[in-house]
Amino acid sequence: MPDISGVSAQRLPIVGVMGSGTSAHAELSEPLGDWLARLGVHLLTGGGGGVMECVGRAFCAVPERRGLHLGVLPGDPGAGGASPPGYPNSWVEIPLRTHLPSRGSAGAGADSRNHINVLSCDVVVALPGGEGTASEVALALRYGRPVVAFARSGESVPALPPGVEVYAELAQVQAFVRAHLPRVPEGGSG
């Protein structure tokens, strides 16, 4: 057995990206995913399509990244926790399977994985999406997680609560994320 005395785990911060499960919003999610990979953090998404898949693909395309793409998946407790079709997307490196089926408008309910999505993150970035994205933003506020919306003109996160900043430029989102990370990862170039 190897000697592991003096060895300790290095935990990377986790940035959650929440957004549409059907629309990729590539003009936002691709540069964000690339930057997060270079920053040296883990990426957490809901593991499905749309924004979740697009940001994950951009994140995983950076060969020198240190972080991993974590996907918190919905599940059907009556089917042994099986995830719906399309979950996980092919860019999720660590699928975190749950027995929690609720999504969309039921995203803040006790049987929704959105609680896990938000509670597992150090910072939440919300891209345009629907009711599920809105519930994740509301949960981030409830649980005291720093949250920012990244949206261009004409795009929105529905029912965005007061006090959530909306930025149209990646540089603004980068400044917000850096200011709210618990520590700046060593070796990150973002």
Under the banding of pLDDT at 50, 70 and 90, the label for residue 59 is: very high
Average pLDDT in the 48-57 region?
98
Provide the b/e sequence for 30-50 (b: ≥16 CB within 10 Å).
Answer: bbbbbbbbbbbbbbbbbbbbb
pLDDT reported for residue 185: 59
Domain ranges in the chain are 14-162
**What does the pLDDT average to over 81-91?**
93
- Given this model, what pLDDT does residue 51 score? 98
Answer whether residue 153 shows pLDDT above 80: no
Q: What is the mean pLDDT of residues 176-187?
A: 83
**Residue 2: is its pLDDT beyond 80?**
no
Distance, CA of 103 to CA of 42 (rounded, Å): 23
Burial 80-111 (b: 16+ CB within 10 A, else e): eeebeeebbbebbeebbbbebbbbeeebbeee
Q: Is the pLDDT assigned to residue 45 strictly greater than 70?
A: yes
Answer yes or no: are the C-beta atoms of 113 and 98 closer than 8 Å. yes
Name the token pair of 136: 């994740």
Half-sphere exposure of 158 (CA within 13 A, CB side): 9
What does the pLDDT read at residue 80?
86
Is the preceding peptide bond at 63 cis, omega within 30 degrees of 0?
Answer: no
What pLDDT sits at residue 71?
98
Contact (Cβ atoms closer than 8 angstroms) between residue 23 and residue 157: no
* C-alpha–C-alpha distance, residues 40 and 15, integer Å: 10
Query: What is the predicted pLDDT for the residue at 102?
Result: 85
The topology under which CATH files domain 14-162 is Rossmann fold (3.40.50)
Please compute the mean of the pLDDT values over residues 63-77 and round it to a whole number: 95
